[in-house]
Structure 1
Amino acid sequence: TDIGAINSAEQLARITSLVETGEAEGAERWSAPRELPSSGYWFAPTLFTNVTQAHTVARDEIFGPVLSVLSFRTPDEAVAKANNSQYGLSAGIWTEKGSRILAVANKLRAGVVWANTFNKFDPTSPFGGYKESG
C-alpha cells in the first residue's frame, strides 16, 4: 500500500498526539520499522489492537494512516460499535456473503459504505459524511 504525506505540520502534530494518547490509554501500537522521507510531513502506518470504545483512537477522527481494531462477536455488535460515534464519514464491510453486506450496510450510519474495499471512489457517485462528519 502506498501512503502519501500528511497535509500540514499541524495535522502531523494532531496525529502524533492522538497516537500517543492511544498508547497512554493502553491500546497496543503496531508500526513496522521504516525510514520516512526527511522532507515533508510523514507518519508511518500504525495499527492499534486491544482497543475498546473508551479509547480516544476509537472515538476520534484521526485523518492519518492509523487503524484501530475493535473486536466483535456478531454483525449486530459490529454495527452497534460502528454507530456508537459522533462521526460517520465512512464505513467498510468485508465478507464473502453479499446478503450480509446489504444487511449491515443498511444499518450503518455513515456517509459512504464500502464493500470488500476501502476509499475507492467512483467520481460520478454522491459523497457526503454523516453526523459530525457531514
Structure 2
Amino acid sequence: DKNTDVGAINSAAQLERIRSVVDAGEAEGAQRWSPVCALPEKGFWFAPTVFTGVSQAHRVAREEIFGPVLSVLTFRTPQEAVDKANNTPYGLSAGVWTEKGSRMLWTAERLRAGVVWSNTFNRFDPASPFGGYKESGYGREGGRHGLEAYVG
C-alpha cells in the first residue's frame, strides 16, 4: 500500500535481526530515540528509531538494517559526506538534500549507490533502471538497462 509510512517487518527472524542491530547501537554508545507509539499486537512490528552520536565504527552505520532505523552521521564538507557514504560494503540507495542543484549533481555523481534521490526518497520511475553497488546487488532491473541482459 503506497499510503503506508511504516509497515510490518516481514518475519520474526528479520525483527530479531533489527532488534540485535539496535541493541548493538546502544551498547556501542549511540543515542537512541523512538517515539512513544502503539504497535499492533499481531504481526512483526518495530517502532521508528533514530540514532545520533553515530560514527562509522558503529554497527548501525555499517549494516543494511532493512527496518525503520535511521543513523545520523555528521560531516563538515560535501566531500566528507561522500567519503562516509561510500565507506561501506553496501550501495543500494542514497538521498541528497540540498537547495543547490550544482551540489546535488556533484554529490550524486560521486555516490556509489544504485539509485540517488534528490530532495525526496523512495520514488521510482518504472522506466528507470534499479540496482545496487557492491554487496547490495549486481546488475540492473527495470528500464532499458534491465532488459539488456535478456537480448542479444
Q: Secondary structure at the match of 1:2?
A: coil
Out of 22, 25, 28, the position equivalent to 1:22 is 25
Out of 10, 13, 17, the position equivalent to 1:10 is 13
Deviations 1:57-115, CA, capped at 9 Å, x for gaps: 00000000000000000000000000000000011000000110000000001111000
How far did 1:123 drift?
1.7
Q: Matched residues in 2 for 1:2 and 1:29: separation?
A: 20
Partner in structure 2 of residue 128 of structure 1: 131
Residue pairs, 1:50-61, within 5 angstroms: 50-61=53-64
1:87 counterpart = 2:101: no
Q: Which has the higher helix share?
A: 2
Q: Secondary structure at the match of 1:106?
A: helix
| Structure 1 gaps, min length 5 | none
Q: Matched residues in 2 for 1:30 and 1:121: separation?
A: 29
How many positions carry a matched residue from both structures?
134
Partner in structure 1 of residue 116 of structure 2: 113
TM-score normalised to structure 2 length: 0.87
Query: What is the root-mean-square deviation of aligned Cα atoms in Å?
Result: 0.8
Deviations 1:31-50, CA, capped at 9 Å, x for gaps: 01111000011000000000
Q: Matched residues in 2 for 1:118 and 1:68: separation?
A: 16
The list of structure 1 runs, each at least 4 consecutive aligned residues, that deviate by more than 6 angstroms after superposition, is: none
TM-score normalised to structure 1 length: 0.98
Partner in structure 1 of residue 48 of structure 2: 45
Q: Matched residues in 1 for 2:130 and 2:41: separation?
A: 34
Structure showing greater radius of gyration is 2
Q: Matched residues in 2 for 1:107 and 1:17: separation?
A: 32
1:31 counterpart = 2:16: no
1:63 counterpart = 2:66: yes
Q: Matched residues in 2 for 1:116 and 1:18: separation?
A: 28
Q: Matched residues in 2 for 1:39 and 1:21: separation?
A: 26
